[in-house]
Amino acid sequence: MPYVNIRVAGSLTKEQKGKISRGVTDVIAREANKPPESVLIFIDEVVHENIAKNGELLVPPK
């Protein structure tokens, strides 16, 4: 069973999560020859202040 963990800075709408989940499932099912129902996806939404890049905390977009 393929497990996919996607982390994003900030939040996504339910519609965005659905589109991403369908797209990732399609790619894994096709390229890894796995049944779509076996693909398990976790989407973690992380607040910007909990992510740093180049030693600096991310700032939320305005």
Q: pLDDT tens digits for 6-27?
A: 999 999 999 999 999 999 999 9
DSSP state of 22: H
In order of their start, the domains of the chain are 3-57 (3.30.429.10)
- Given a cut of 90, is residue 62 above it in pLDDT? no
**39: which residues sit within 8 A by CB, 6+ positions away?**
1, 2, 4, 24, 25, 28, 29
Nearest to 4 by CA among 14, 19, 20: 20
pLDDT at residue 40 in the model: 98
Q: What is the pTM of this model?
A: 0.85
Structure tokens at 2: 């393929």
